[in-house]
Amino acid sequence: MTQQISFQTAKPLAAIYVRVSTQDQAQHGFSLDAQEESLTSYAKALGYEVFKIYKDEGRSAKNLNRPEMQNLLKDAESRKFQAIFIYKLDRFSRSLKDLILTIDKLKEWGIDFISLQDKIETASASGKLMFQIIGAFAEFERNIIGDRTSFGMEKKAKEGGFIAKAPFGYDLINKELIENKENAQKVKQIFEEYLNTDISLTQLAKKNGFTTSGIKKLLQNTTYIGKVKFANRESEGKHKPLLEKDLFDKVQEKLKNKID
């Protein structure tokens, strides 16, 4: 009697990556559980066995510096699975450059990339082309949003609003710069001491608890004469100046001519 031996073909392994930020979940309902359930079913329908589910919760997709994303890429390089499944391109990354470079790496490692909602897969030439086209439009949309944001910030600066964090001598209260009496006095003393003595920047910094570069930035900060700055453009601010312009200008002249 001839013995029949059956061989069971092992299924290819799939990694599932899911990501959600608090804002995404509140506005669009892309919950981790919903993504995981959809992707698990999709992977199994295509004949894959799920190797592992990688979850980044409350993480932005502006770059790839996310804990589980890094674990995913490390395991991909080690060829622990044959494909990566994601729910949508923006779950993986919002940077076209990161997407394209990562896809190229995955192809080099022999790993396919499947996006459920975008109907993208890199197992074929047409799939990769569609990925690049959709990724280009996603990047274009991000740039439009970025332009609008920059325009809004520039408009705010021109109107005298303050954008960055409060410099030494001020407190930021309800998005407005408010003079900190104690530190404001110290700012004036620093300017006067630098102007009227032979103290070096290094000595002045050490004396007041700053680095040398930090004290130089303080001495060059036009916020102290009532200015706000954005994209290298200065406007008149709404906040109270801490210094007379004459004192500030004299310090700038000394900084320009002095080798510290």
**Residues with catalytic roles:** 21
Q: Would you say 206 and 260 are in contact if contact means Cβ atoms under 8 Å apart? A: no
Spatial separation of the C-alpha atoms in residues 241 and 2, rounded to whole Å: 98
- ∠ CA(238), CA(240), CA(244), 5° rounding? 125
Q: Return the half-sphere exposure (C-beta side, CA atoms, 13 A cut-off) of residue 47.
A: 5
Residue 118: exposure state from Cβ atoms within 10 A (0-12, 13-18, ≥19): middle
Q: Which amino acid is located at 250 in the chain?
A: K
Q: How distant is the alpha carbon of residue 182 from its chain centre?
A: 35
CA distance readout (Å), 84 to 13, 53, 54, 111, 166: 9, 10, 10, 7, 44
CA distance readout (Å), 228 to 121, 139, 247: 48, 31, 18
Q: How many CB atoms lie within 10 A of CB 76?
A: 21
Q: Would you say 75 and 111 are in contact if contact means Cβ atoms under 8 Å apart? A: no
Beta-strand pair 233-236/49-57: unpaired
- Tokens representing 176 are 């407005």
